[in-house]
Amino acid sequence: MQSAKLQLSPQHIALVTNAEWILTKNEILKHIKNVFEELCAWQQTVVKTSSLPGEVLKPGGKISRGENYLGLPWIVLDNPRCFTKENIFAIRTLFWWGRSFSTTLHVSGKWKQHFSQKLIQSFHLFQSNQFAISYNGDEWVHDVSSASYISLKNMDNKEFEEIIKQAHFIKMAVSTSIENIETSIEILMQQFQLLINIVKE
């Protein structure tokens, strides 16, 4: 191997020689995970009175985390969650480092059919609460600010109804800036409650 130099900018050197920022990052993620565990427990009390199908409720909530969604750490709470190859029903709460918090209702297959009318009837509620819709392309894009999501701001209820009826999957998502971190849990609770109110039997 020929002699090679590891060349870093002064800014990069300052970071790589300082362990504290990584330890602080880990501490922050641990704290957010703990808060998500409390959020999950609260969500469970809500869904127990929602009369959702037992198949949806049976798996219970799940928290996952990773280091590289588009290069950034993330923590996800799926509750309720029912994932099969063709049929999905989930409400996903996402913390995405440096970007946003988001709440997403994800339905496909038989669950999209089951809840379609409730979604259609809730168009103005989704619109007034600044939700965006994703219904084609990659089903697993979670960046609500990306081109995969379309704001309902300039959509009418007829167009929305046609999308709901024709699409294979539907994701209704709303995000809040990471700058709102001090009030984020209250916001996430409100968004979750809104979605449960829409889909409950």
Domain that holds residue 65: 10-199
Q: What digits encode the pLDDT tens for the residues 60-74?
A: 899 999 999 999 999
Q: Please indicate, yes or no, if residue 5 is contained in any of the structural domains.
A: no
Q: What digits encode the pLDDT tens for the residues 27-47?
A: 999 999 999 999 999 999 999
Q: Please indicate, yes or no, if residue 1 is contained in any of the structural domains.
A: no
Q: Is the pLDDT of residue 3 over 80?
A: no
Q: For position 5, what pLDDT does the model report?
A: 81
Q: Please indicate, yes or no, if residue 3 is contained in any of the structural domains.
A: no
Question: Which tokens go with 190?
Answer: 């409100």
CATH of the domain at 161: 3.30.930
pLDDT > 90 in the chain, percent: 89
Q: What digits encode the pLDDT tens for the residues 136-152?
A: 999 999 999 999 999 99
Q: Please indicate, yes or no, if residue 127 is contained in any of the structural domains.
A: yes
pLDDT > 70 in the chain, percent: 99
Mean pLDDT, residues 162-188: 96
Q: Which long-range contacts (CB under 8 A, 24 or more apart) does 121-125 make?
A: 122/198, 123/152, 123/157, 123/160, 123/161, 124/157, 125/194, 125/198
Question: From start to end of the chain, where are the E strands?
Answer: 62-69, 72-83, 88-96, 100-108, 132-134, 150-151, 169-177
Q: Please indicate, yes or no, if residue 79 is contained in any of the structural domains.
A: yes
Q: Please indicate, yes or no, if residue 4 is contained in any of the structural domains.
A: no
Number of compact structural domains in the chain: 1
